[in-house]
Structure formats: structure tokens, C-alpha cells
Amino acid sequence: MPLYEYHCQNCTEDFEKIVRFSEANLLPPCPVCGSTDTHKKISAAASFGNASSSGASSSGSSCGSGGGFS
């Protein structure tokens, strides 16, 4: 069953309620103040931020010349 978010316009309370599909059009009363002046919040698509991809920066390989002094 879907979980809907509601917003009470009377006391500005946000609450969630699991609603059957047959009851999806019914607005539940506010659990705080009991007002039926509620409306369903449209759950927008989750916006997931772009994780900054940190490029694997390999430190410069030091090609050391083995100088053998005799």
C-alpha cells in the first residue's frame, strides 16, 4: 500500500498515512488538530545530487635513474 504525505493547512502539520487505493482520494483528518483541511503532498521525484566524481589522480611515478657511481 502506498504511503502518502499530507499537509495540514490548519496547523501546518505534515503527516504520513498509508492509504489504500480505494481511499486514495479521501483526505484524512489531521492527527494533530483534527482538521480535515488537509491536502496530499505530491511526492516529487527524488532528486539525487550528483556526487562529485573524484578522479583517481595517481601521483607521478618517479622514474629514478639508478646512478651507480664507482
Residue ranges that bind Zn ion, judged by CB under 5 A: 8, 10-11, 13, 30, 32-33, 35
Q: Among all chains, which residue has been given the C-alpha cell 483534527? A: 34
H helices within 1-70, ranges in order? none
Q: How far is the CB of 27 from Zn ion (least distance, A)?
A: 12
Q: Burial level of 27, CB count in 10 A (0-12/13-18/19+)?
A: middle
Which one, of 42, 31, 41, lies nearest residue 10 by Cα? 31
Q: Which is nearer to Zn ion, 16 or 62 (CB)?
A: 16
Q: How far is the CB of 7 from Zn ion (least distance, A)?
A: 9
Q: How far is the CB of 43 from Zn ion (least distance, A)?
A: 20
Q: Which is nearer to Zn ion, 1 or 32 (CB)?
A: 32
